[in-house]
Structure 1
Amino acid sequence: MADEIPTVQILDKKNYFSQSLISLPSALPYPPLPPSSLRLRTSVLSLTVNNFTYAALGNLLRWWDVHPLPSSTPAPYNDSSKYGRISAWGYAQVLESTVAAIPKGSYLWGYVPLGTLPEDLQVSLHPSIADQVIVTSAHRKDAMPIYNRYFIYLPSTTTTITTTTTTSSRAEEIARKTTGVAHDAALRVMHATAFLMESFAFSSTPSRVVAPGAGPDDGQSDDPSWSAADADLSDSTVLIFAPGSKAGALFAALLGARKAGEDRPRRIVGVTSGFSQAFVEGTGLYDSVVLTSAEPMSVFTDREEKRVVVFDFGGRAGVAQRWAGTLTPEYPSLQFVGVGSAILDPKVAESVFAAAAKSPAPAYKAARVNAGDMRPRAIKAIGEEEYWAEEARSWEVFRRHGIKGLKMNWGEGMGDVLKGWDRLARGEVLPSEGLVYKL
């Protein structure tokens, strides 16, 4: 592995559907590793709609800067004004280390580049959480904290991470053993967002309520416009758009686990396209499932709801906003919460974002979820050790079982990664599929 010619995915920034697999022979040999550093090579990653969001908003939110073009990139791809690299979530193997507590052979889970080229990162151990490390490299200083935090897995705990699922005669047994690894890559960051929303932004405990949106990320201040009343979902109907998305399904599962008659919503309704209907119904996470083509008011029969809360996890063509606009005259206290976005064609992405920025304020109250800013507030509310313990306990349930009907489909190598990227761009990936790759 150390002498292999590394390859990386490079995207056209203006047309991120267009990708190239670039070999970097001149990257060898690798230079000596600086002090307090790790040399990491991506080992397992997952592709989701999020990857395209990182590309679409890469200039605005500095996502192109997290994994810059290598110095060995050949022309014309070395022009960073035109080309760039986007990241995924998964595991990276520690090839070399100058950090005594993280030996060679360990793995880190977090935000990893798409490619087999190792990256050298300066890091510092978390002062109080033993299994976490923070990236301190200069080129990452402007990245949101959530992207600079990695979880450590020492060599004694990583046997299933190193297993390849596609070449063994024991493929069925290995797939079972690596289910947790696949879920880590495909679902863990989605769970973190859903957990922050359910346990804090929409908590029934006033002392835990934090604002869901962007704002100061030091945990020292909060949005005064967000209150316990905004967080209260009891006696409300919750409409989840893109209910087949991984984050939407995880949020529905967490809400559905609340006790009926106490802090559970009256109803959790999945509003879906016909393409995803069968999968959404099969998850068993929703009290009812309706099509986006339905008349919005047809969802409400007894009209006893205190209010309606719309969660948009990436519904297409502004369908969630249209529903919210239709429902607001009947439910003036309607709350709209934007969480994700659909894959946008690069040809229209900039115009869509520009139009959204110029749009007049809607008649309903709207908020936009930002997990990176929510987390410091949640940590401030209950303390860091308790926060991470709670998130870990919640995640372990989904790590074992995942989402009903969601199958993790493993690929191997960067060739398969590029095929998966193309399938996502063409809209061919089924809602019942999770795309996971071993490099």
Structure 2
Amino acid sequence: MNERQRLLINRDQLDDVQWHSEALPSPADGQVLLAIDNFALTANNITYAAFGDALQYWEFFPAPVGSGIVPVWGFADVVASNCDGIEVGERFYGFYPLASHLLVEPAQVSDTSFTDNAEHRRSLPVIYNQYLRTSSDALYDADREAVQMLLRPLFTTSFLLDDFFADQAMFGARELHLTSASSKTAIGMAFCLQHNRANRDADYAIVGLTSARNKAFVESLDCYDRVVTYDEAATLGNQTPSAIVDFAGDGTLLRTLHEQLGDSLRYSCLVGASHWDQRAGAGPDMPGPDPVMFFAPHQAEKRISEWGGERFAQHLADQWQAFCEFAGGWMEIDASEGREAIAQTYQQVLAGNFSPRSGYVLSKFSCQ
């Protein structure tokens, strides 16, 4: 392929997309050109787009005015290098544009990773700017690349959410209500909350809220203490100190929960936007504490400063391995390739029209 292909998203209308082709850049001194081999598409990527302005996700991979490029997690191979310490043919896991290639300016090159030091990325969270060599990544398994692409970034958020709530003594809550309970990030948090509960002083119940269509699936996971459909949300009790972790992004649902939980609500946490187009439904003057957006890199940076990078990585790795075993029992990987498949899958995930068991892995931009 002698050109770079990018899927451009209309930032004001996320279902308006078009492919754009341009000349393939050549790396200058200190630069490296990566060819993106495969990547995952999940509801997490829709969250990146929905909060592209508020959380600076559009800034990672610049696009023409009015357009954005959705970030994805995946693997890429070095196809050209003018940087000491990085060789053609090496493979890296990391944060990529929904595009065929990425030009980077590596800094802090080590045996395990490098950081993209491109000027437009220097002020952005380092956790997104780091690229890991598969040859030395402790979590890498060549036979489980699809699982890593699909679940590693989501589970990292899940792990950090669980740690954040534990760090805050659950905000005094004894019931944690997780919306979009069938989403992989919510499942990961529920898994961590359950996995770690026995070693904590806090006693809490994990309540999953989901659609009637997905209730049986969520119950089958056995990581929620109770599963409630959205239609049943108004029947939740308000006698137990509670917290909301909102992965759905449905403003009307969020308001219903705030009103129903009333004075028992201790904390309201915004994470994802599975229903990205319904966030505004919450309206003004919602009762209870103001919802607070959770930004995973902040908790990661806090823990790395307190624990050190090695201890942080070990804690994450231990729970990641356990979660992978758990996920192997229910996740079904759906792999496809080519530009048409990529655009169609993006629209499908954007519309929320997929089974919670499905994990989409895409590759081969050159296939039509």
Q: How many correspondences in the alignment?
A: 364
Structure 2 unmatched ranges of 5 or more: none
2:216 maps to 1:253: no
Q: Structure 1 residues 240 and 360, CA, compared in 2 at 3 Å: closer, same or farther?
A: same
CA contact (8 A) 2:134 2:140 kept: no
Cα 1:243–1:185 change in 2 (3 A) is same
Contact 1:105 1:155 in 2 (8 A): no
Q: Which moved more, 1:315-324 or 1:248-257?
A: 315-324
- Aligned partner of 1:308 in structure 2 is 242
Equivalent in the alignment of 1:213:
none
Correspondence 1:249-398 to 2 at 5 A: 249-260=187-198, 262-263=200-201, 265-294=203-232, 296-298=234-236, 305=240, 307-329=241-263, 331=264, 334-345=266-277, 352=280, 359-360=284-285, 362-364=287-289, 366-398=291-323
Structure-2 separation of matches of 1:337 and 1:64: 23
1:430 paired residue number: 355
- Structure having the larger proportion of residues in helix: 2
Corresponding residue for 1:206? none
Query: What is the TM-score of this pair, normalised by structure 1?
Result: 0.75
Decide whether the 8 Å contact of 2:8 with 2:17 is kept in 1.
yes
| Residue of structure 2 equivalent to 1:13 | 11
Q: 1:97 offset after TM fit, Å?
A: 2.4
> Would the aligned equivalents of 2:44 and 2:154 in 1 still touch at CA under 8 Å?
no
Corresponding residue for residue 39 of structure 1: 33
Q: Does 1:202 align with 2:196?
A: no
User: What is the DSSP-based 3-state SS (H/G/I as helix, E as strand, rest coil) of the residue aligned with 1:8?
Assistant: strand
| Matching residue's letter, 1:40 | L
Partner of 1:113: 97
Higher-RCO chain (CA-CA 8 Å, sequence separation at least 6): 1
User: 2:88: which partner in 1?
Assistant: 104
Q: Cα deviations across residues 407-434 of structure 1 (Å, max 9, x unaligned)?
A: 1111112221111012123332122211
* Displacement after TM superposition at 1:281 (Å): 1.5
CA separation of 1:434/1:139 partners in 2, compared to 1, >3 Å: closer, same or farther? Answer: same
Alignment partner, residue 214 of structure 1: none
* Cα separation, partners in 2 of 1:397 and 1:97, compared to 1, 3 Å: farther
SS at match of 1:190: helix
State the one-letter code of the partner of 2:95.
Answer: Y
- CA shift, 1:45, in A, is 0.8
1:56 matched residue in structure 2: 50
1:298 is displaced (CA, Å) by: 4.5
Q: Which residue of 1 aligns with 2:336?
A: 411
**SS of alignment partner, residue 65 of structure 2:** coil
The RMSD of aligned alpha carbons is 2.9
Partners of 1:97 and 1:371 lie apart in 2 by: 32
- What CA distance in whole angstroms lies between the structure 1 residues aligned with 2:44 and 2:6? 19
The amino acid across from 2:175 in the alignment is: T
Counterpart of 1:186, as a letter, is L
Give me the whole-angstrom Cα distance separating, in 2, the residues matched to 1:142 and 1:295: 41
Residue 106 of structure 1 aligns with an amino acid whose one-letter code is E
SS at 1:258 equivalent: helix
Q: Choose 1 or 2 for highest CA Rg.
A: 1
For residue 279 of structure 1, give the secondary structure of its aligned residue in structure 2.
Answer: helix
Pick closer, same or farther for the CA change 1:135–1:327 going to 2, 3 Å: same
Identity %, equivalent residues: 23
Q: Choose which of 171, 174, 181 in structure 2 pairs with 1:243.
A: 181
